[in-house]
Amino acid sequence: MDDEDSTSKDQVVGKPQSRTLLIVTTIVFVPVGVLCVLGAFVSLFMFDAPGSGENPFLYGAVACMFSLPVICLLSIPCSWVLHARQKHKAARCVALSPLCSIAGFVLMWLCALMV
């Protein structure tokens, strides 16, 4: 019975919070996704320095930069579909998934600078 109560509580309480979060992430991640397309191609210039081709962290940083526009632009419609299907927790997780790519890029870039 507790499972049913928590599910109905999530649907009642989670809907306005999810909707607000989805609106904010849509406003933020659409321009980020569009602008990062150019940044993804510019990130290839990280390999111009001599010896940078042997740094595995740069490969990770470039992979994160190439995945960011894709994740930004795919997470928005997917999160809205999940929200419409009353799966609010999943919608919030999918809406915030571009932050993983951003955090991965920052971590890889910092590690690449230390090597």
CA angle 10/12/13 to nearest 5° reads 65
pLDDT at 65 over 60: yes
| Mean local confidence (pLDDT), 33-60 | 88
Residue 94 in contact with residue 78, Cβ under 8 Å? yes
Domain range annotation of the chain? 13-114
Distance between CA atoms of 103 and 106, rounded to whole angstroms?
5
Give 76-102 pLDDT, tens digit per residue. 999 999 999 999 999 999 999 999 999
Note the pLDDT of residue 99.
95
